[in-house]
Amino acid sequence: MPKPLSARTRKSAAGKPDHLDFLCDVGELTAVVTDSADLGACLQRLTTLVAQHLHTAVCSIYLADDSGQSLVLRATVGLNPAAVGTTRLKAGEGLAGQAFKELRPVLDNHASRNPQFKAFPAIGEEPFDCFLAVPIHRGAAHIGVLCVQRRRNQPFQTEDAKALQTVASQLAGLIGNVQALLAQPAAGGGPLPVRRGGMRLLRGQPVSGGSATGPALVVAAGPSPAKTAVPEPAGGTEADLARAAEETARQIKDLQDRIARRLPEAASLIFDAHLLMLHDDGFVGEMRRLARAGRPARTAVREVAAKYTAIFAASPQAYLREKVKDIEDIAQRLLANLEPAARREESAAGSIVIARDLYPSDIVRRWAEGAKGFVLTSGGVTTHVAILARSLQLPAVIADAPELAAVAPGTPLLVDGDTGNLYLQPRADVLKRFAEGERTRTTAHQRAAEMRDSTFTRDGERITLRANINLLGEVALARDLKAEGIGLYRTEFPFLIRTAFPTEEEQAALYARLVAGMPGRTVTFRTLDVGGEKALAYFNQGREANPELGLRSIRFCFRHPDIFTAQVRAILRAGATAKVLRVMFPMISSLDEFRAARQVVLGCAEALRAEGIPHAAHPAIGMMIELPAVVELIDAFAAEADFFSVGTNDFVQYMLGADRGNELVADAYCPHHPAVLRALAQVVAGAARHGKELTVCGEMAHRPEYLPLLVGLGVRTFSVDPHHLPDMQARLAALDLTQAQALAREILADPTIAGIARRLHLPAKPA
């Protein structure tokens, strides 16, 4: 039997369950549950405790399976225990499935009469007609359902639903972690089997090029609030704790300095919170007070960390839940420094990290620890995670194989980011071949000597090549490769890789470094482009049915003018010394939007002038062309915008209604679709009529099969990731403009994808 909760949680003076006192005991409840090493037992004890408090005959927990589309009964009190693990519901099926799908409580004291009710004769719930289910979720992430049932003459009240909701929210993080572990493959009850001495090849999709070898490190999705509650040998005094805190602060500062040299966007944004906590009287100060009172230092660290972890994990605010990672990191560092021989749990040093989902900030953290590569098992990846991995030169692949979550820690892996292949226990000859390939790989830095100051086609047509910059560490490479400026700086990275919105001052300091790194050259800032696939981990703007068509990019900025204004002011301040400062807006769909966004820039410039703050008083103001709505209005836009940049990734996606990140519609995402190319030709011609520069900066810009076509259409400015510049210049030098123009005319006259594919020497799209 589980140990009982304190007596005050049983009943109030009126004889009813005292929900307030029960909620005060949620911390005790969590501790009871996490005390068990058996996951099934954890859930079983939880159902027993909830049933005892609410005086219900039945309490059950259903958790989502790997697909997220079905629920599996994982624990129950009052129903047939044989149904655990075998009873399943689809999302929306039955009352429990309805609560899960709609993320709302379902209360029905006559459940069997409800048309949504689904009966399972084998589980023995016939006598229990009073039914209450609440969803277990973290934000929009569906985890499962907590259900309670009573007999027909014992109805549930509204306050019961509220209490159960609160319990579910308090325990969402814990149950989510249990769910993740339960979802691991159960074959043999152990790690993914690999033949002794045998190599296994998994074919995936490439995310970031290069190859890397190292031992496997499987990272559970999301924070683990219970991590610091794992029993450890107690020991240490207050003096030991003070020394450990000083050593931890020194280590973090060293790490911060190292990152600042390679990734200045992230250094202060990630680790300042750590340093503040180490000097916080309510955090380390509380640990020291416990140690001073006689508690072993290691115990003090665990108890205080567990307390704050529970508080933050239960917060409805996403940015506060993110603090769990900071607390866990600091606690593990303190424990390691209390016993120097100990090693930090889950250190990524030298390893290949396997994870289902990663935020950009997770990539930075693991890179800082020394990870050599990444394997993502979710079947998809956001563009910005991919860009960040490439910028940090971390090989990465997507291997849509959930069984990788059960790979034994330390299993030798080889990641081939060029082909998407993953080798488990690679043979010696395979390791040798890849090692030789890495030694002979020519880096972009080594090709700098090949670059000429200006780019021309074979017959002398001038082409401008600029660089797309994601991280400040890439500026030096762009400069060495003689980029004629920055055609696109993605300003969202400082927002994506941190745990709170950067201030105007923080942004201005970063942007100034960008401008200083490209003296005398054009620098183009794209304003904040978040939302959709570029979700901010610390900002929950609510669930959207279709985020790519929702509150993203310029729409997000208009909805949050304080964020937009702070960024524009920072850009203008940083651009005070720029030769040519350009500001462009993403996802513009109407002339009204462009004018409104331009007015924000002009208003910020006027405010800075009035405040006497140095700034770029007259920046060039332009826009991205990404939406079909712009095509028919190109002349109106060209009469007012100073320049254009075509983001071909989104342009193709929205022209064809095909999500470029969805492998199910990969065949429908087709850059050489005739409608896409004709629309592109229309905007190129419109910009030319008004003498406005148009740049192509998406994936099409650097793909060799599209380069002759784009030049033939009239594109004379390209902006690509720096490492593509040498190949781009070489291909353009071999290109004949007359032939390119003839090719463009032929392709624009062809109404079929297959015909265009033949002319571009591409494989035809399946019918």
**Whole-Å CA distances, 740 to 26, 464, 700, 728:** 70, 17, 16, 15
**What does the alpha-carbon distance between residue 62 and residue 69 come to, in Å, rounded to a whole number?**
12
- DSSP-derived secondary structure for 497-516: TSSSPPPHHHHHHHHHHHHH
Residue carrying structure tokens 């148009």: 694
Exposed/middle/buried for residue 453 (C-beta within 10 Å: 0-12, 13-18, 19+): exposed
| Contact present, 484 and 759 (Cβ < 8 Å) | no
Q: Distance between CA atoms of 132 and 114, rounded to whole angstroms?
A: 13
**Which of these is catalytic: 274, 384, 672, 702?**
384
Cα separation, 157 vs 766, in Å, equals 57
Note whether 327 and 308 are within 8 A (CB). Answer: yes
Query: How do 462-469 and 396-398 pair as beta strands?
Result: unpaired
Percentages (nearest 5) of helix, strand, coil residues in the chain: 50, 15, 35
DSSP secondary-structure letter at 82?
G
- Smallest CA-to-CA distance from 26 within 59, 3, 49 is with 49
User: Distance (Å, rounded) from C-alpha 493 to C-alpha 528?
Assistant: 9
CB-based contact 388:367 (threshold 8 Å): no
Cα–Cα distance, 249 to 246 (Å, whole number): 5
**Which residue reads 């939007």 in tokens?**
593
Supply 58's token pair. 């039945």
Please give the structure tokens belonging to residue 300. 């003090």
Lookup: tokens for 279: 């000097």
> How do 693-696 and 462-469 pair as beta strands?
unpaired
CA dihedral sign of residues 712, 713, 714, 716:
negative
Reduced to 3 states, what is the DSSP secondary structure of residue 632?
helix
Q: Rounded to a whole number, what is the distance in angstroms from the first to the last CA of the chain?
A: 62
Which of 697, 702, 723, 724 is labelled catalytic? 697
Of residues 563, 548, 558, the one with CA closest to residue 665 = 548
Pairing status of strand 211-219 against strand 412-416: antiparallel
For 211, phi then psi, to 5°, come to -135, 155
* Catalytic residue status for 384: yes
Q: How far apart are CA 353 and CA 255, in angstroms?
A: 20
What distances in angstroms separate CA 6 from CA 9, 46, 49, 393, 569, one per listed residue?
Answer: 6, 15, 11, 54, 56
- Length of the chain measured in residues: 767
Tell me the sheet residues that pair with 137: 142
- Is 557 catalytic? The answer is no
Q: What values do phi and psi take at 719, rounded to 5?
A: -130, 120
CB 110 within 8 A of CB 81: no
CB 80 within 8 A of CB 122: yes
* Structure-block tokens of residue 674: 């005739």
Residues 6+ apart with CB under 8 A from 415: 211, 212, 213, 352, 373, 374, 375, 395, 396, 397, 422, 423
- At residue 234's C-alpha, the angle toward residues 230 and 235, to 5°, is 145
| Contact call for residues 469 and 486 (beta carbons, < 8 A) | yes
Residue appearing with tokens 């949050």: 560
Q: What's at 378, amino acid-wise? A: S
* φ/ψ (deg, to 5) at 104: -150, 155
Q: Which residues are the active-site residues?
A: 384, 697
